[in-house]
Structure 1
């Protein structure tokens, strides 16, 4: 496992994705599914919230979130009119529990700040959903030191446009930046920007 001290001390800025890099996205989605399940039980009576939540969790664990409403609809006969509620919850959910950062990433960010380096979050997700997550994250006092950018507002990663803007706006060179991610897109993004890349798994 790597520590901050293992990284190139010449780096001046660190770029993070949000989902599955700073925190596990599953923690957000499962709470959305829980809230939707409670809504369905309250509105329709069946299935029970516990049964539908367990179904969502099982499907997510084995197949991911793709088409998960359709699978629940098929299994429980959920009315199509509730699809809009399901989709809207991803944008507006007020979570029962705060989202917690990976402990290794929290430690890394704290050490970056102590060393007076910059932290940028560049996320490919839909801005409204990502903002809802960010507002419900337990940041442990890091909020004033984070600058968040939504790639969708320029071009999605791996296109380098958003990082090029950040470099120009902060008087940084490509060699000054390290990208920390978890997907092939993150890795391609770093390569397209001419920046160093490291997988977040090395800190967890």
Structure 2
């Protein structure tokens, strides 16, 4: 658990990845699977949405999201033509429920704002999909304090280009900034820019 009072008080800005750092990506994906299952039941009547949703949930919890459409297609005989719908939902889904920040990350972000430090979300992956997630997170009023950058619009991780751009645009030095993430890639990303890194344990 990250506690703001334990950070170096000289830091002026904090950089966070999005998925599994600020909120659990699982909460987004399971809602996407639910929407797809209901769309498919409406379109084809089979498989039942409840049954397909449960399949997706178990497959995700067992092996993650990789090839999950192919697994469902094999198990239920889903037509290949629905792959495009599945992928589109990942990018554009309007979720039934708001995404909630991890409790400790909400407190951390609030403490950073109170101390008048800067917050940057620097996220990898498809920018359209990542922005769709950001728009559906319950930020509790924090959204106006966030600056968002998409690494794929500059240069993918672990290239430090987007971090170097942030330093330049916001008149910061590397020593002023802390990067927080869960993946080893994030650690290399920070190191390549000469920025301190802290790993978030979830």
Same fold (TM over 0.5): yes
| Per-residue CA distance 1:68-121 (angstroms, 9 max, x = gap) | 000000000001111110011011100000000001000000000000000000
Which ranges of 4 or more aligned residues in structure 1 deviate by more than 2 Å? none
Q: Could you tell me how far apart the structure 2 residues matched to 1:114 and 1:12 are?
A: 13
2:18 alignment partner, SS class: coil
Looking at structure 1, the residues matched to 17 and 29 of structure 2 have their Cα atoms a distance apart, in angstroms, of 17
SS in 1 for 2:22: coil
Q: Report the counterpart of residue 176 of structure 2 in structure 1.
A: 176
* Matches for 1:50-89 after TM superposition, within 5 Å: 50-89=50-89
Measure how far apart 1:2 and its partner are.
Answer: 3.6
CA distance in 2: counterparts of 1:136 and 1:2, whole angstroms? 24
The TM-score with structure 1 as length reference comes to 0.97
Q: Secondary structure at the match of 1:149?
A: strand
Residue-by-residue CA offset, 1:34-74 (whole Å, 9 max, x unaligned) = 00000111111111101000000000001111100000000
The number of aligned residues is 202
> CA-atom RMSD, angstroms?
0.8
Structure 2 length-normalised TM: 0.98
Structure 1 residue 199, shift from structure 2 partner:
1.3
**Distance in 2 (alpha carbons) for counterparts of 1:2 and 1:72:** 38
What is the SS of the residue equivalent to 1:178? strand
Instruction: Give unmatched runs, 5+ long, in structure 1.
Output: none
Gaps of 5+ in 2: none
Q: Deviations over 1:137-169 (max 9, x none)?
A: 000000110000000111111110000000011
Q: Structure 2: how far apart are the matches of 1:113 and 1:158?
A: 27
Task: State the alpha-carbon separation in 1 of the partners of residues 93 and 170 from structure 2.
Answer: 34
Structure 2 equivalent of residue 115 of structure 1:
115
Shift of 1:188: 0.5
> Which residue number in structure 1 is paired with residue 160 of structure 2?
160
